[in-house]
Amino acid sequence: MTNAPEAVFRDALTRAIESAWDLAPTEIPLTYPPNAELGDLASPVCFELARTLKRSPREIAAAIADAFRAGDGIERVEVAGAGYLNAFLDRDVFLREKLSGATAPAAPDARKIIVEHTNINPNKAAHIGHLRNAVLGDTLVRFLRRIGRDVEVQNYIDDTGVQVADLVVGFQQIRGEGLAQILERYSEEALRERGQRFDYLAWDLYAEVTQWYADDDARLTHRAACLEAMERGDNETAEIAAHVSRRMVQHHLETMDRIGARYDVLPRESDILRLDFWKHAFERLKSSSAIHLTERGKNAGCWVMDLADAEAGAGEDQKVIVRSNGTVTYVGKDIAYQMWKFGLLGKDFHYDAFDWSPRRELYSLWSTCSDGRDENPRSFGGATRVYNVIDTRQSYLQRVVQQGLRSLGHDAQADRSIHYAYEMVALTPAAVAAMFPDHPLSEEDRGRAYLEMSGRKGLGVKADDLLDTLIERARSEIAKRNPELDASEIDEMARRIAVGAVRYYMLRYTRNRVVAFDLDAALAFEGETGPYLQYSVVRARNILGKVEQAFGPESVAAGELGRDVSLAALPPGTVAEHWNLVLQFLRVDAVVAQAVETLELSTVAKHAYTLAQAFNSFYHRYRVAQEENASIRRARTAIVRLYHDGMLELLELLGIEVPTRM
RNA sequence: GGGCCUGUAGCUCAGUUGGAUAGAGCAGCGCUCUCCUAAAGCGCGGGUCGGGGGUUCGACUCCCUCCAGGCUCACCA
């Protein structure tokens, strides 16, 4: 069995350098030649060796090339340019192994990794910003699992915060509704009859509450009273908060399930408080002097953390952890939560199956709880590495949490507590004007590249609305092309296309770029889009179908083709284009590994797109099923089989399913 | 003011740890469906890589500086 071409080339070069120059290079840099004629892999290592050896790069390269021995899938090495060493792989060897599925699987690594993502405040419907978070988080999970890691997915529920309180105030004070009325008027049945849904209703009510406060500052006392009642517990207000946030989480889970994102456990902030996680962490923080009580100044009466120079803003060199009224801030709770994730707290949650009622259960899922009914067969938390998928606006707070771990002496865990930061999704002024005609836009606003969304103002595109619109458009496109299909067949295809479009849209941008949501670009099915990728697989499938129909099942079986297929059968001028498709698939593992390393997932999406472009070009240039020369047809069929299986797998990594037809 | 991010084609964006002629999509114009579905392909036009210094064999990439824009620096999260 041959390893990945990169590893093979590195090993071979190391041996050649040792025998030619009698030195052991520490690291062999690799790159890819700008075009296929120059080779499959390249190394600029001679430019570095030139410094120490005091010879010209070309001279060094020539000696290494002389000492190079072919084998292990490398056919030959050439000196090129100013001193590059370019490798030519043994094409048939790699093609056959890829088809036979003989490539080595990732070595499993049992050390647990926690990925926390989604984390939507349970007081309103999910919007496209949450969609970006979930797509990035879920895709990271898929990549990590691909490279053999054990991953636990957590979705943190902030069910005791101000945002939930505001929604409760809306029900109680504006609508004048108590728990009984809420249960009755907003039962699933009642909502369905009125054509409403709970999360959308909350979206509007939350914006309404914000305005209600703005109209009269005195009304803010309701917020404070609500928060106090929620924290005290055992009262109707707290019950409403619990009910409302649970209903909201159900909707979020359904929305995310539509795009293929699922979770293992939902840690709830209320349980962090009720189980005294915070009290525990507080004692540790106090006894290690990580925080201290201030007696004078603006933070008098608060427990604060002194910030390292790098974190200190112009006016602030302290972060309040416990307020003067004795309640803990979000950062404090998050420090306790982070400690638990690493198994450093010495306490654990209780767990219970998540209560999906009254909506339907989508999958079995655990939620934390505060009482002792433990039935979970597995343990949560206690990871060696943690990724927190949170947008870049929270970078400062994430650094404070990290510093908290550090000042408790957990430097190693702080280093492995990784803030996966990405930029927000915003709206273009044109999109705001189109979708929110009542929203006032100043001259300045119109001139901006983008405007932030605002849950408080109800300014944002709901995730489900976007998905519904995409599905509608996909449906009509499918119907146009396949008039014989009935509606039920079209549904599943449209769903896959919509998900493909939205996931690719969220993945195509590098993470530190603000996505200025553009409706036309998000709804596009042509060009650099998810459907473009899906369509290429459908085409490959159609070709395989034709070949199978004419020449039997064995003619398209990967294992059969992998036995003895050879690109040498192809007309010489056309080999490079066929081989390029194989080569791009050989690079997938390296691309995924690098994406995890840099947390730049867009490179994998981009790689898939480049592959699809190459395949579409191949599709137009060469016939497969109609090719009369049997060995040429066989070689082309092998390429199509490789593409079909490989792209299906690659898209699965991106969370994109392929429709049977398009 | 401090920290972080961004500035590349008309528009939206790629450009992997410095490396070979700076790429793609959209928009525009012109072609290609009796063919394995045209959600596609081919061609054309289009660039002071924000400005200015510096580092070196070599800079879109690294360093300094300036300009422009964004996010953030709560007893909200």
**Beta-sheet pairing, A41-43 with A84-89:** antiparallel
Model pLDDT, residue A103 = 67
**Judgement on whether residues A558 and A646 belong to the same structural domain of the protein:** yes
Q: Is residue A537 part of a domain?
A: yes
Per-residue pLDDT band at A104 (split at 50, 70, 90): low
> What average pLDDT does this structure show over A254-266?
98
Structure tokens at A466: 């976007």
Chain A 139-178, CB < 7 Å to strand B: 158, 161-162
Q: How many CA atoms lie within 13 A of A168 on its CB side?
A: 30
- The whole-number Å distance from A604's CA to B53's C1' is 37
Q: Is residue A217 part of a domain?
A: no
Strand partners, A319: A305
Q: How many domains does chain A have?
A: 3
Give the end of a domain, one of A89, A120, A138: A89
Q: Is the CB of A73 under 7 A from strand B?
A: no
- The whole-number Å distance from A315's CA to B73's C1' is 8
Q: Is residue A435 part of a domain?
A: yes
**Judgement on whether residues A470 and A568 belong to the same structural domain of the protein:** no
Model pLDDT, residue A211 = 93
Instruction: Tell whether the model's pLDDT for residue A310 goes beyond 80.
Output: no
**Beta-sheet pairing, A366-369 with A350-353:** antiparallel
Spell out the alpha helix ranges (H) of A155-310. Answer: 162-169, 179-185, 188-194, 198-215, 220-232, 236-258, 269-274, 277-287
Per-residue pLDDT band at A440 (split at 50, 70, 90): confident
**Cα(A450)–Cα(A518) distance, integer angstroms:** 10
- Domain containing A64 — which CATH number? 3.30.1360.70
Per-residue pLDDT band at A311 (split at 50, 70, 90): low
**Cα(A9)–Cα(A342) distance, integer angstroms:** 38
**Cα(A633)–Cα(A625) distance, integer angstroms:** 7
pLDDT one-digit tens code per residue, A470-501: 999 999 999 999 988 988 899 999 999 999 99
**Judgement on whether residues A504 and A550 belong to the same structural domain of the protein:** no
CA angle at residue A502 from A479 to A650, to 5 degrees?
A: 95
Protein-proximal positions, strand B, CB < 7 A = 1-6, 12-17, 19-21, 24-27, 35-42, 57-58, 69-77
Model pLDDT, residue A315 = 47
Q: Is the CB of A292 under 7 A from strand B?
A: no
Q: Give the phi and the psi of residue A133 in degrees, each rounded to 5.
A: -60, -50
Out of A137-146, A376-385, A453-462, pick the least confident.
A376-385
pLDDT one-digit tens code per residue, A390-406: 999 999 999 999 999 99
> What average pLDDT does this structure show over A430-457?
89
**Judgement on whether residues A648 and A536 belong to the same structural domain of the protein:** yes
Higher-confidence position of A307 and A94:
A94
Strand order in the sheet with A425-427: A451-452, A425-427, A515-517
Q: Is the CB of A533 under 7 A from strand B?
A: no
**Judgement on whether residues A476 and A591 belong to the same structural domain of the protein:** no
Strand order in the sheet with A303-306: A291-293, A303-306, A318-322
The DSSP line for A397-463 is HHHHHHHHHHHTT-HHHHHTEEEEEEPPEEE-HHHHHHH-TTS---HHHHHSS-EE-BTTTTBS-BH
pLDDT one-digit tens code per residue, A316-349: 578 999 999 888 999 999 999 999 999 999 999 9
- Domain containing A591 — which CATH number? 1.10.730.10
- The whole-number Å distance from A500's CA to B17's C1' is 32
Q: Is residue A639 part of a domain?
A: yes
Give the end of a domain, one of A89, A106, A129: A89
**Judgement on whether residues A466 and A557 belong to the same structural domain of the protein:** no
Model pLDDT, residue A383 = 96
> What average pLDDT does this structure show over A80-95?
88
- The whole-number Å distance from A123's CA to B40's C1' is 44
Q: Is the CB of A535 under 7 A from strand B?
A: yes
Per-residue pLDDT band at A309 (split at 50, 70, 90): low
**Judgement on whether residues A469 and A580 belong to the same structural domain of the protein:** no
- The whole-number Å distance from A51's CA to B54's C1' is 22
pLDDT one-digit tens code per residue, A512-550: 999 999 888 999 999 999 999 999 999 999 999 999 999
Out of A85-89, A601-605, A611-615, pick the least confident.
A85-89
Q: Cα–Cα distances in Å, from A17 out to A30, A57, A264?
A: 15, 13, 49
The DSSP line for A241-265 is HHHHHHHHHHHHHHHHHHTT---SE
A120 CB-contact burial (10 Å; exposed 0-12 / middle 13-18 / buried 19+)? buried
**Judgement on whether residues A517 and A621 belong to the same structural domain of the protein:** no
**Judgement on whether residues A518 and A555 belong to the same structural domain of the protein:** no
- The whole-number Å distance from A619's CA to B4's C1' is 45
Give the end of a domain, one of A522, A554, A583: A522
Q: Is residue A304 part of a domain?
A: no
Instruction: Tell whether the model's pLDDT for residue A276 goes beyond 60.
Output: yes
Mean pLDDT estimate for chain A: 92
> What average pLDDT does this structure show over A297-317?
73
pLDDT one-digit tens code per residue, A160-196: 999 999 999 999 999 999 999 999 999 999 999 999 9
Q: Is residue A111 part of a domain?
A: no
> What average pLDDT does this structure show over A87-99?
93
- Contact between residue A12 and residue A68 where contact means Cβ atoms under 8 Å apart: yes
- The whole-number Å distance from A148's CA to B8's C1' is 37
Chain A 443-472, CB < 7 Å to strand B: 448-449, 452
Instruction: Tell whether the model's pLDDT for residue A8 goes beyond 90.
Output: no
Can you tell me the ipTM of this complex? 0.96
Range of the domain at A13: 5-89
The answer to whether the bond into A377 is cis (omega within 30° of 0) is no
- The whole-number Å distance from A595's CA to B36's C1' is 35
User: Residue for token digits 């939205």?
Assistant: A502
CA angle at residue A105 from A104 to A107, to 5 degrees?
A: 110
Q: Is residue A546 part of a domain?
A: yes
> What average pLDDT does this structure show over A128-148?
97
**Judgement on whether residues A41 and A62 belong to the same structural domain of the protein:** yes
**Beta-sheet pairing, A303-306 with A291-293:** antiparallel
Structure tokens at A56: 């010209």
**Judgement on whether residues A544 and A485 belong to the same structural domain of the protein:** no
Q: Is residue A227 part of a domain?
A: no
A18 CB-contact burial (10 Å; exposed 0-12 / middle 13-18 / buried 19+)? middle
Instruction: Tell whether the model's pLDDT for residue A355 goes beyond 70.
Output: yes
**Cα(A491)–Cα(A332) distance, integer angstroms:** 46
**Judgement on whether residues A618 and A535 belong to the same structural domain of the protein:** yes
